[in-house]
Every structure is written in C-alpha cells, then in structure tokens.
C-alpha cells in the first residue's frame, strides 16, 4: 500500500518536472523571438542604424533605393527625418520618401508626403517633382490591380482620383511650365481629359436608361462645352440630339445634329444622307439573349447609348486588332478566356 503511494508520488513528480521543462522551453523560445527556429534573425532598422551619423543614414538609404528595397528605404528615410530634421539631407530625404512610397505602391502615403513637402517648401527648386509624383500617385489610385492583366475601362469607375490628378498636373504646368516633368505631364493630362469626358458620356447613357433625359442632355452639353477636341465630343452632340428629341425640343436637337453632321459625318448615329437615326442603339447592336431564344419575337427595347471610341479614340482604334484590309476582327472565345495568350 505504501509502495503504491510512493510510486504514485514519484510518477507525479516526474510528470510535473516534464511539464515544467516544456514550459521553460516555450518561455525561452517566446522571449528570444524563436531564434532557434530561424525566426527573428532579422534585426530591426533601429538596431541596424544605432549610432549612425546623418551621412551614414543617407548612404544606407541610397543603397536600399538602388536595390529597390522600398520598405527598408522608407523606414530609414523616416528615421533620418526624425533624428536629423534640419540636417543637410533633410529636404532631399523628404523627396526620396515620396518616391519610395510611390514605388512601393503606397500611393496614399506618397500623396500625403508630397502635400507636406509642398506646404513646407513651396519655393524649393525641386518642388515641381513633388507635384509630379503626387499626380502620378493619384493616377495610379484611379487604376485597379488587374488593369495590367485584364482589359478594363477606367472611365466606368469612380473618377474622383482622376479629377484630383488632373488638378495636380494642371497646377504643375501652370507654376512650372518649363519643368523637366512638364512634357510627360501634358501627355498625361490629355489622357486624363479624354477619360473625364468619356465618363460624362457613360453618365449620360445611364441617365437615358433611367429616363432622366434632361440630365442626359446636360451631360452631353457639358462635354461639348468643356472638353472640346476630345474623342467624346461627337457622342456629346449625339446625346444632346437624342435627349432633346425625346423631350420634344426639336430646335435644340436639330442644332446638335447640324454640328454633328458638319464636324463628324462618320458618326454611327448618322445615315448616309446625314440624318440622325433616333432609334439606333449604338452599344447593344446584337440581339439580347431573350431575343435570340425567342428568334426575335421578344426583344426588350434598349435605351439610347452612345460610344464611338472605336472611331474617334486613337488609343482604342490602335488597340483593336485589324486584318490586312483594315477591318477589325472579332476575338474568339478562347482568346478572351486566355486574355489573348492563345487564339
């Protein structure tokens, strides 16, 4: 009986010792950062830069930038500013922080850093660079992740960032017309302007679908008045003609048609005689699924919609594949499924 009790006590002590040993190992692994597993080998930026001079910081930052190690560069640039806010490299470091944040894809932070630099150093000789990178960041915000892989239409998205980019680059050109970034900014402004105009046409088409014809007419007029020479102007005139005709404001509709015929006679809403076809549906040329299933007996009427980019938009026209005789070829289903990799 005594022996059995002694054995039980011995087993219990053995068990408790094992538990204590396991807890000790876990405690040590936690406090040491699990370095015995290979974790935590990477030292923090603060440890790496302990005792660094301003020049040491800047040289390390340049090394990170040249290696495209944006996260380390950003951390060191922020430390440089906090430890040497009035140093020799302070202002240059702020500019490089904007660049590193832009390259890392953190566009919101890049815009904030650019705004801060412009506010603190409005007379800096390189403040035009802050405007330029801010504009690029705002343009990038208006694009999606899959834009580089899948054909998308940015003009159907929220254009708030595009408007901000347009304002930023416009201010850049206004204040620094001879800046080295001015030529590229002008090209980007043209593209932004065309996208903003096309977005207005999309809104007008939406208003047609909702039966808000006066609102559609106002959008068309806004494009014609504010985005002259953009590829969306012909559709703006067509929107005006269609909307005013529905509203029984025929004089205004006829005026829009006359301007359209005189300047854009090849617009698809016009027939060979130059007459505006008020019943033509420009986006939904093919029968709907319901129309196909019923062999055309039942086909819901589509609201007016205008999109003539395949004619007037140089980018869209050049992007389309063409045959030897210049006619646009339609892509196969297999090509669409593989994003053009196989056809």
Tell me what pLDDT residue 340 has: 45
Tell me what pLDDT residue 341 has: 42
Q: Across residues 82-95, what is the average pLDDT?
A: 88
Q: Indicate whether 284 pLDDT > 60.
A: no
Are 83 and 60 within 8 A, CB to CB?
no
If we measure between CA atoms, which residue out of 86, 84, 51, 79 comes closest to residue 64? 79
Q: Indicate whether 292 pLDDT > 80.
A: no
Angle, CA of 276, 280 and 286, to the nearest 5°: 150
pLDDT band at 188 (very low <50, low <70, confident <90, very high): very high
Tell me what pLDDT residue 207 has: 94
Q: Indicate whether 322 pLDDT > 50.
A: no
Most confident of 33-47, 199-213, 319-333: 199-213
Q: Across residues 127-153, what is the average pLDDT?
A: 79
Q: Indicate whether 100 pLDDT > 50.
A: yes
Q: Indicate whether 74 pLDDT > 50.
A: yes
Tell me what pLDDT residue 175 has: 96
Q: How many residues does the chain have?
A: 343
Tell me what pLDDT residue 53 has: 80
* Dist. CA 43–CA 16, nearest whole Å: 36
Per DSSP, the three-state class of 191 is helix
Q: Indicate whether 211 pLDDT > 60.
A: yes
Q: Indicate whether 323 pLDDT > 50.
A: no
Between the two ends of the chain, the Cα-to-Cα distance in Å is 87
CA 238 remoteness from chain centre? 29
The mean predicted confidence, pLDDT, of the chain is 78
Q: Across residues 12-26, what is the average pLDDT?
A: 58
Are 101 and 109 within 8 A, CB to CB?
yes
Q: Indicate whether 298 pLDDT > 50.
A: yes
Tell me what pLDDT residue 315 has: 52
Percentage with pLDDT > 90 across the chain: 48
If we measure between CA atoms, which residue out of 261, 167, 303 comes closest to residue 253? 261
Tell me what pLDDT residue 313 has: 77
Identify the residue with better confidence: 131 or 8: 131
Q: Across residues 266-275, what is the average pLDDT?
A: 90
Tell me what pLDDT residue 82 has: 87
pLDDT band at 337 (very low <50, low <70, confident <90, very high): very low
Q: Indicate whether 147 pLDDT > 60.
A: no
């Amino acid at each position: 009986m005594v022996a059995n009790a002694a054995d039980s006590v011995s087993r219990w002590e053995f068990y408790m010792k094992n538990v204590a040993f396991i807890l000790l190992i876990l405690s040590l692994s936690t406090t040491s950062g699990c370095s015995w597993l290979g974790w935590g080998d990477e030292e923090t930026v603060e440890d790496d830069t302990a005792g660094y001079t301003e020049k040491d910081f800047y040289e390390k930052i340049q090394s990170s930038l040249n290696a495209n190690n944006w996260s380390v560069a950003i951390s060191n640039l922020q430390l440089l500013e906090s430890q040497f806010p009035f140093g020799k490299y302070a202002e240059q470091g702020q500019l490089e922080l904007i660049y590193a944040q832009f390259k890392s894809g953190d566009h919101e932070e890049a815009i904030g850093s650019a705004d801060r630099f412009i506010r603190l150093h409005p007379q800096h000789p390189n403040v035009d660079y802050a405007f330029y990178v801010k504009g690029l960041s705002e343009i990038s915000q208006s694009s999606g992740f899959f834009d580089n892989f899948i054909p998308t239409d940015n003009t159907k998205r929220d254009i708030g960032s595009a408007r901000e980019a347009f304002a930023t680059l416009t201010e850049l050109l206004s204040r620094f017309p001879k800046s080295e970034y001015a030529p590229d900014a002008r090209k980007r402004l043209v593209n932004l302007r065309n996208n903003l105009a096309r977005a207005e046409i999309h809104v007008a088409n939406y208003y047609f679908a909702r039966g808000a014809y006066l609102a559609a007419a106002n959008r068309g007029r806004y494009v014609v008045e504010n985005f002259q020479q953009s590829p969306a102007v012909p559709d703006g005139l067509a929107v005006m003609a269609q909307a005013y005709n529905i509203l029984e404001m025929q004089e205004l509709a006829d005026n829009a048609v006359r301007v359209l015929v005189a300047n854009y006679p090849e617009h698809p809403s016009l027939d060979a005689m130059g007459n505006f076809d008020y019943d033509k549906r420009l986006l939904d040329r093919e029968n709907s699924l319901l129309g196909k299933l019923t062999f055309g007996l039942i086909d819901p009427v589509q609201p007016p919609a205008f999109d003539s980019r395949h004619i007037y938009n140089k980018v869209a026209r050049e992007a389309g594949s063409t045959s030897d005789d210049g006619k646009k070829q339609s892509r196969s289903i297999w090509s669409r499924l593989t994003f053009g990799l196989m056809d």
